[in-house]
Structure 1
Amino acid sequence: MATAAGSFRHQDYTVAWICALPLEMAAAAAMLDERHYDLPARPNDGNTYILGRIYGHNLAIACLPSAVYGTTSAATVATQMQSTFESIRFGLMIGIGGGVPTGKVDIRLGDVVVSKPTRDSGGVIQYDYGKTVTGGRFERTGVLNKPPPVLLTAVSRLQAEHELGPSRIPALLSEAVDRNPRMREKFAYRGDDQDQLFDSEYDHTNLGDTCNNCDAGRLVTRPTRASHDPVIHYGLIASGNQVVKHGHSRDKLARELDILCFEMEAAGLMDNFPCFVIRGISDYSDSHKNKRWQEYAAAAAAGYGKELLSVVHASHVVDTLPAGSISDVSYCREKPPSMKLPNSEIVRNYGQEGAGLLERISNYEHERIHQRLTRKRLTGTTHWFLDHPDFKAWFTEKRVSSLWCSGKIGSGKAMIATAAIDAAKYELGCPTVAQHLVWDNIPKSAIVCSFKANTFLKLTRIEPCNRCKYRKVSLQTRGVLRELPKYQPRNVQILVDEEKRRILGRFLRRC
């Protein structure tokens, strides 16, 4: 493997590769086309990284702390990673997982499972998150985000390529071993005789790693494959904070959720970090589980990750928003003029200098919640609402200033609100202040402060344009806003200089 002679900066890395085990990190490092020198550590980042390049993409590879697993640990690693590498666009969670063989899907040890979104899921299901309801029945709640479009389109391309020819995983594994000869023994294919699937109702007979004393008559008979090359399966991956080592429980969850494998980290990433999950199958999630296949399975998954990056265009990655950013996307249909109006410049300067003031008014960020919910929204699921006559009337007719929508808990009201806000931004252009207020376990007294701070922050980011006009707040909406201060703390003092006081004062009085 070549070592890059040039110097790189933290902001030069656009892809995060996250592993749970050192052997997974080793497999990832073996896939690098070139390895980069370490960079200085950043404050408040306890991760250590392997840096390098694959097919034109600069990667930072991180591993969870030794012997610390689960969704929380994965989330911590990803958060610290984003703070250190500001330009990271997405992450790849690549490593081993426990397979779920069924009558429909012939999963073998060493195969690769790739998360694939469905109509009702983002590709990863947190199977142990939910609530216990009447009768003691466990009810799963919540839907995790799906991977970013730049990866989903690349997966489609790769699937098409594999319809025309074989995967390049075997060739990539061979190249990795040639570059790293010490991998040859541990990371090699383990053999058909070591791939044993027992009846799900038959448990392991002792505490040893081998199944020498297990009843061979309880082995599941499967047809011999023509090749030892890993087979790639696309479907749902179950993620949780417990290891599944029970065949009956595995099959029960498989019937309920239609999953292909289990793992323990991805659920901690999907909601707050645009991420894609790839797992090499190292066991069957039953009591016969052992570590014999872990290295090869990790290498197979890493090989798929490298093959995936080969069809991800670098220009598409650059066009993707940084994973840690909360950007106000401008939907203005005309490029703003280069010359800014004087009052616009004053407001913008306030936004730069007075960020601390707004944080003291309220640090509850509705925009962050809006962005998180938007990423969860599945394509096309809210079109029925946007096309509804009542919504169109509210949106286009000045005499209709309020629209009331109600529904049961979990029926999708929040997703509808995100769609309505995005539609308003696009149709009305700028300067439009579109606010999505999410009352998420915050006291009533904080709502008006949060509303004022977030709205004023948006005003500071407005870019003037020729074709967009300001719209006045309707009288009815003003009436609603006048009711909100009833819950406002009475003792709120704001200290600003005279010029900025006039700007902020005019806005607060209107609210």
Structure 2
Amino acid sequence: MESQTKLSHEDYHVGWICALPKERTAASMMLDQTHPKLRVPANDQNTYTLGTVGEHSVVIACLPKGAIGTNEAATVIAQMFSTFPSIKIVLMVGIGGGIPPKVRLGDVVVGTEVIQWDFGKAEHNGVFKLTSKPKQPPRALLTVISELESGHDLGESKIPQYLDDIKAKFPPKVIAKYGWSESLKDPLSTPDPGWSILVSILVLIYRWIEFLKTGFNLGNQSAGSDQISKPQEKPRDVNIHYGLIASGNQVIKDAKRRDDINKELDGNVLCFEMEAAGSSIREVLSQVCGDVAAIRSQLDGKEDLEILNWITPIDYGPQHSDYLRRRQPGTGEWLLTSDEYNTWLGSKYVLFCPGIPGAGKTILTSIIIDNLITRFNSDSTVGIAYIYCNFNRSHEQNLDNLLASLLKQLAAQSQYALPDIVKKLHKSHLAQKTRPENKDIIGALRLVIQTFSRVFVIVDALDEYPASNGRAKFLTELFHLHDNYGVNIFATSRFIPEITKIFERGTMPESRATVEIRAHDEDVRNYLDGQISQLGDTLLEEYREHIKTEIANAARGIVQRFSNPRLVLDYLCKEGAHYVGTPACDGNRS
């Protein structure tokens, strides 16, 4: 029966995977109701049958025609999770090969364990030693299996009723192919003992119907309570077996080989997981359920990355890494050990660091960021976001993009998963392909900040952020985040009166500090030391200390910026190291 009620993708909680079209047909026949189809994203290549079993909304999907195996099943499941994000459990139902004399044609095998029988190592004497260990379904399923097994022992199976329901719902032509028939011949009746036994078993399908209708609660749905009377007539009793399923990567057509494997597994195997008519082995329920968490995690990671890139594609990570590589070891220590920096680090402060062009502001900013990341690396409650403004990227430096970058960075650092507010923001604009307004970005940013115990925001080169692109509004929002949410702000800039005044008026004097960035003697000497070592010039090495002293003194005497020592050293390399130590050198210190 087709229901006219059209549910959303979020309303489906059970996934049902089949490997063969005939298995999908049987699964679809067992639905109490079918639902109208829903839109499927372009990156999802599955086709779905939607419906209900008892009180549960179910999604049925089948592997592509001719596709079998673990990877194919994992792909189908991953795409199913992407389209139906509320799915909590995936069942895999199919046909297997039974092990006589326990399992007969038409019986049902419930896999409480699965083992890969061909996973092991060859010993020196040519004997194959099995090293695979049995795997179990999730605990929630095992609990329900125990209840069902007990009910079956008491004769409570509803399989006959389900078969009768199918006869009433579908035409005779369909029933002749998929219903129970007394004309089915059990291969065990053949007198030939060498017959390759490949008993077709409808693995799990009826068991899952009972499981869904009578026993399993997915948290926000209740178990079914329909009482179905027992039928007056029924076919040969279907035996339901619970135990070990053996899976492998070979088709077994030899009875002796089958029995040898079973013997190696202490005679506990109920069936070999195979496709009908002896095709390749495919992944069974236990294995798929064992991988669901990993698939879900990988899928979430991919989906989260798409959402983060939707917020803004801007990424300052490569810039930061590049600047940090340029740092000469030992430089910047004067700022890291300063009272102002450590006060800022321990309190909810605003630290403004202006400096002349070439003073080393950007490298010092990278040092600060690296120090914070190292210091709070193991504390997931601390968020760190940074921006490197640059004249060359002025076209993308506007209020929305910079605030979106802060949101993106902090959302990516969330302790457990991407914050719901970010997902909702993405979802609300995805269908219409619109962009969030500035107020929406700010609202989401403020909420995300509140998920951290502390947040540090670092902005370099504010002077390279065009005033016409909303620089004043950006700084106003930064001060709002500081005043209302305790965000620590670190910023650098050239001496621009407009920017300096904003920092002077933006917050209370007791919660801000200013430190001028300049080329300290020790930093200049460390820089020159490293550069001389890298150049490897013999004469430069000989006059190393003399060069360091003279250039450092010259830099101090003119203006304290790093660009001057670089220029002088470049000049020495260009004109020749013979210039070093001569009267001309001493006379041209300036």
TM-score, normalisation: structure 2: 0.43
More helix by share: 2
TM-score, normalisation: structure 1: 0.49
More relative contact order in 1 or in 2 (CA 8 Å, sep 6+)?
Answer: 1
Which is higher, the Rg of structure 1 or of structure 2? 2
